[in-house]
Amino acid sequence: MGSGTLLILIVVVFALMYFMVMRPQKKQMDKQREMLNRMDEGTRVMLTSGVFGTVRATGETQAVIELAPGVDITVLKQAINKIVRPEDEEFEFTDGGPVDDATESTEPDEATGAQPDESAEPDGAGSEEQAAPAEGG
């Protein structure tokens, strides 16, 4: 094998690597960058962890994502995997939270018989044995 043939082989290998690895990766990065530039306030997104949220603010490298009403997190823009279309979501969301017939039930819970708006006892309320100090010597 001559040095000219070896040089041609090396050039062919680098060309194959470029067209099979580097070029598709660059296209994917450009697509991701374009998607991040399209985002604005109110856009529904899915993070790389699989968590869904709504964009509340964006900066140069970070975004504030609302996971639930009053629950905001700050993430790097690279953590945003994709913009979610309404047909991609299993549940319909409004500003008040997910709309689900099961959560709006007014029937008593079958297991406990409790009404949906009944809540547990407030903190500090418990049995009298716990509240009163033990007597004795």
Domain boundaries, given as residue ranges, for the chain: 1-38, 40-101
CA distance 51 to 86: 15
Query: What is the per-residue pLDDT across 58-87, written as a single tens digit (0 to 9) for each?
Result: 988 899 999 999 999 999 998 998 888 888
Q: Which DSSP state fits 134?
A: P
The alpha carbons of the chain give a radius of gyration, in whole angstroms, of: 28
Domain boundaries 40-101, corresponding CATH code: 2.30.30
- In terms of pLDDT, which residue wins out, 135 or 127? 135
CA distance 110 to 24: 55
Q: Is the pLDDT of residue 107 over 80?
A: no
Placement of tokens 């964009």 in the chain:
55
